[in-house]
Amino acid sequence: MGKQTGDGRRRVVITGMGLVSPVGNDVATSWQNLLAGVSGGALVTAFEATEDFPCRIACEVKGFQPLDYLDKRDAKRFDRVSQFAIAASAQALKQAGFGEAPAGIAPERFGVLIGSGIGGIATFEEQHRKLIESGPSRVSPFFIPMFIPDISAGLVSMRWGLRGPNYATVSACASSAHAIGEAVRHIEHGDADVMLAGGTEATITPMTFAGFSSMKAMSTRNDDPAGASRPFSIDRDGFVMGEGSGILVLEALEHAQARGAEVLAEVVGYGLSGDAYHITAPPDDGYGAQNAMRMALRYAGAEPTEVGYVNAHGTSTMADAIETAAIKSVLGEHARKIVVGSTKSMTGHLLGAAGALEAIVCVQVCRTGKIPPTINFSAADPACDLEYAHGGMIERRVGLALSNSFGFGGHNACLALRRWE
């Protein structure tokens, strides 16, 4: 059933998962499409992306109906970023057996930690237009609580009456990985028995696209939206924006067992570090990424040879080569015996929600023994010379998986998840 922690920390397991993604609005649909190599990439529909925008493609959430989870009043008062979080939380709670009114646990022992790199940027842009065009009196009184990045965690806690630890992590593209790791620590150290943790993001807006395009960070392969995100391929030219939310129910093992919950996987390791190097670029040797992965393995009490799968940060940028080098440095020769995958080739980059989605992928890999492909491969980059599942889904038993998340500002996080036996 996994190794005991040697220092008295409580073991933390996953009992529920929820997902709203560019390839499906629940875990089952998303997982089926990921295994099949389905791309979520298409031309932007959220706004009119004229030729003035160098990038006009995205991996948007499709067919999402907020009224499936919210009444009309709340749907109008919640930014899309919070609508996603509510939906994913509802799914995760249902799978964990808590439902609409979590019973059998004191509200003070049930917390919420949801990260977001940017928050309600669509609301910000809309209200800023009103300010410029119509004056300050036309700005909505709901503007601030719709926009701030912490509001999704607050709204989720209010929806289900959860009074335990409650806040948001904001560390760019590492936000939700940090949220999961810190939630694990709260349970380990007795601050809570159960935590809803993950991330949410909804950044397919004109301002966000303009900003990332000005940085030349996004793919401009506008004539091939489905093939634009191509991690580790020699002709990769930038990331493709995604959106959505991933939420996990994390629970103390003894608490889950006492109520007869199904355990999906165990979170056994968490590593975090800072590059102290550059506002957007990692150092050439990826020492920050190395430090996070090594810390996660130490935390797990695991040897590098136990790792079977790494869900790489793998953004389809030049940094893919640096991450490859970091993985080889940490795992040594064993790196050539594992699969390194980037599901961002299909989902795009969900920024602050990416780590949670990819942690869910790692859980599914450990549970099913199936590893999603990294699609859109064209030709090898000599600096990216590991097994990336370019040929399609791979079947392989995985006992321990790592999920890497790295954010602008030099924020690094790595989660280690173990198969539940």
> Mapping DSSP to helix (H, G, I), strand (E, B) and coil, where does residue 414 land?
strand
178, 186, 255, 313: which one is catalytic? 313
Render 337-390 in DSSP notation, one character per residue: GSEEE-THHHH-B-GGGHHHHHHHHHHHHHHHSEE-------SB-TT--S---T
55, 173, 384, 414: the active-site residue:
173
Give the separation between CA 18 and CA 55, rounded to whole angstroms. Answer: 30
CA 220 to mean position of chain CA atoms:
23
**Using CA atoms, how far apart are residues 252 and 261, in angstroms rounded to an integer?**
11
What residue has token string 């040697």?
6
Distance CA 374, CA 35 (A): 10
3-state percent helix, strand, coil for the chain, nearest multiple of 5? 40, 20, 40
Residue 352 C-beta-side C-alpha neighbours within 13 Å:
31
DSSP E strand stretches across 57-214:
57-59, 110-115, 166-167, 194-201
Residue 105 is encoded by which pair of tokens? Answer: 């646990």
Q: One of 186, 349, 390, 411 is an active-site residue; which one?
A: 349
Cβ–Cβ under 8 Å, residues 88 and 245: yes
- With beta carbons less than 8 A apart as the criterion, state whether 386 and 324 touch: yes
Is residue 362 annotated as a catalytic residue, yes or no? no
Helical residues (DSSP H) of 286-353, grouped into ranges? 287-300, 319-331, 344-347
Q: Say which amino acid occupies 115.
A: G
Is 194:109 a contact under the CB 8 Å cutoff? yes
Whether 186 is catalytic: no
Q: Where are the alpha helices (DSSP H) in 161-246?
A: 175-188, 206-214
Q: Note if 313 is an active site residue.
A: yes
Catalytic sites, residue numbers: 173, 313, 349
